[in-house]
Amino acid sequence: MAAPPEPEVRELRAGALGALLEPDPLRKASETLRIAALDLALVPQGVLDCHMPLPGRPARPLLVARPRSRQRSLLSLAGRGALLHSLVHIEFNAINLSLDACWRFAGMPEQYYRDWLNVAAEEAYHFTLLSDHLKTLGYAYGDFPAHNGLWDTVEKTKGDVLARMALVPRTLEARGLDASPPMRAKLAQAGDHAAAAIIDIILRDEIGHVAIGNHWYRWLCEERQLDYRSTYASLAIEFGAPKLHGPFNFDARRAAGFDEDELAALQSIETQ
């Protein structure tokens, strides 16, 4: 059977919304990469409406509360498969997070939209790398339960781009910078050097993604004449951001644009 024709896309934000609505993960990833490669027109002031449930997602994996069960050993195929599946799910959500940031908020500078579409394309690349590697273990995306915590924060912050920039890239994605080195070490210790190499790629790119979030968060604070440190603390309380805890990857966070005062505050948390 012939593949369905690719939808015609004329405008960048509308294309991002179309990719966000796609339920099939592989098609979502490929469509995101496709529209990111096109030289599309951009209408920053356009207000787009969407009356369909977001994001487009497959029937599987089953979404459950965050699991509290004991982690399975990475020396077992099932244990490694479960961990890699969780990473695939994170990257699937990361595509959606970036696409949503791209289409939803009108009136930002043109570079904002191009930045987030490029981020979405890199997340699609990460998803493909991890999904393909998961298949070599005999599993596929959807074979294990997953949770919806990342998208919950997107829903909470859909009314304010400042809150979105504060709590998604600067909080949730920045936690990925902290988690990557120990996760890479565990995978390498378990003998999965291919997965460890993928984590290296993801960490490299995620530093840039968090840096983009830092840039636009501070740009918005300056536009609104807000202090970015106290504003972040207020938003974290207002929107119920996850409580930060160490260990922190200070080198990666510094490379992603966190200043020394912010890093010192994290250092005080880590030593408590």
Determine the structural domain holding residue 117 and report its residue range: 12-61+73-270
pLDDT band at 2 (very low <50, low <70, confident <90, very high): very low
In a domain, 1, yes or no: no
Residue 150 domain flag: yes
Check pLDDT > 90 for residue 67: no
User: Which CATH number belongs to the domain containing residue 206 in this structure?
Assistant: 1.20.1260
Band of residue 105 on the pLDDT scale cut at 50, 70, 90: very high
Amino acid code (one letter) for 95: I
Taking only the tens place, the pLDDT of each residue in 10-61 is: 899 999 999 999 999 999 999 999 999 999 999 999 889 888 999 999 999 9
Is residue 42, in this structure, part of any structural domain at all?
A: yes
Stretch 206-221: mean pLDDT: 98
Evaluate whether 94 touches 2 at the Cβ level (below 8 Å). Answer: no
What percentage of the chain has pLDDT greater than the value 70? 94
Domain assignment of residue 66, yes or no: no
Using 50, 70 and 90 to split pLDDT, how confident is the model at 1? very low
Domains: count for the chain? 1
Q: Which long-range contacts (CB under 8 A, 24 or more apart) does 180-187 make?
A: 180/206, 180/249, 180/252, 181/249, 182/247, 183/83, 186/74, 187/74, 187/80, 187/83
- Entry pTM: 0.93
Task: Examine residue 67 and state whether it is found in any structural domain, yes or no.
Answer: no
In a domain, 97, yes or no: yes
- What rounded mean pLDDT belongs to the chain? 93
